Structure 1
Amino acid sequence: MSKRQQGFTLVEVLVASVILFSVLAVVSLVYRGAITASVKATQHLKINAEARMLIVKIEQSILELSTSEINKTQQKGQVNGIEYIWKAQVIDFRSAPKKFDVDLGTFIVPPRKYKLWRVTLNLEHGGVSKELTFHQLGWNNA
């Protein structure tokens, strides 16, 4: 008479357990990677949003500084949890192009009043940092 086996053997249960835990480990690693990428993307978005506001403030500061004799400046601070530091330096100081005066028959050279600034803005939030470099034109209305 043949005896029929009921249930699983210990080896079958162990093999199934190893496969199950391997799949769970791989899924958890993928999920963890997705969470990490999501957090970093959120931090980058926050930095970019604040960078726009800071650039507007920097442009206003540069326009004010262009009326003075200052050729180099920096400022640092924190806004909405984002630390920033910006540095600006004049890289060119020129006048408008020469104009020909028909009455005098000569070229008139206007006074120097246009300053071209190189600005570097460093932002940091939650271990993510970003550096932006741009040029800003300022002038003296005097």
Structure 2
Amino acid sequence: MMHHKKGFTLVELLVSVVILLAVITTVSMLYRGAFISSEKASKYVQFSTAITGVLDTVRFDIRHAPFNQTRLEGTGTNGGVSFRWDASAIKEKGDSISGTSDIAIQLQTTSNQYKLWQVSLEVEAQGIVRQYQFKEVSWRGR
């Protein structure tokens, strides 16, 4: 009479452990990929949200700087994003008024004048660094 032993053989146990480890590894890789994607998306959302405020700050600083300046720079933070910028005047234009009368001289000194600036902006947030180049206009009105 033969007695049947209950339980798993060593080979069956090893095969089941290998299968279990393969499943756990696959699932953890999927979750890891999803987590990394979520972190990247979160960084870019923060970055994109803050860039509008950064641009507004840079524009404000350029437009409110003394008009005789030809080079400007600044730094700051906005929404967890730090930034550094510099600007150079690349073009200047004013209303042309000719004449030597008192009224012509007064109009020459108070006429509209415009400056075109080349702006370089570097923005950094959570290890992401982006550089931007754009043009901005400032003016001195009557």
TM over 0.5: yes
**Cα deviation, residue 15, structure 1:** 1.1
The question of whether the paired residues in 2 share the 8 Å contact of 1:72 and 1:89 is answered with: yes
CA distance in 2, matches of 1:23, 1:94: 69
Deviations 1:35-74 (A, max 9, x none): 1221121111111111101211211211122x52111111
Look up the SS of the partner of 1:6 in the other structure.
Answer: coil
Q: Using the TM superposition, name which of 67-76 and 12-21 deviates more.
A: 67-76
- TM-score of the superposition, structure 1-length normalised? 0.76
CA distance in 2, matches of 1:87, 1:14: 65
Q: Which has the higher strand share?
A: 1
Q: State the partner residue of 2:102.
A: none
The sequence identity of aligned pairs, in percent, is: 29
Q: State the partner residue of 2:121.
A: 121
Q: Which runs of 5+ in 2 are unaligned?
A: 98-107
The question of whether the paired residues in 2 share the 8 Å contact of 1:40 and 1:128 is answered with: no
Q: State the partner residue of 2:104.
A: none
Q: Which has the higher helix share?
A: 2
CA distance in 1, matches of 2:4, 2:85: 80
Q: Which amino acid aligns with 1:79?
A: N
CA distance in 2, matches of 1:22, 1:8: 20
Q: State the partner residue of 1:44.
A: 44
CA distance in 1, matches of 2:118, 2:2: 90
Which of structures 1 and 2 has the larger relative contact order (alpha carbons within 8 angstroms, sep 6+)? 1
Q: State the partner residue of 1:138.
A: 138
The question of whether the paired residues in 1 share the 8 Å contact of 2:62 and 2:72 is answered with: no
Look up the SS of the partner of 2:64 in the other structure.
Answer: helix
Aligned residue-pair number: 130
Q: State the partner residue of 1:106.
A: none
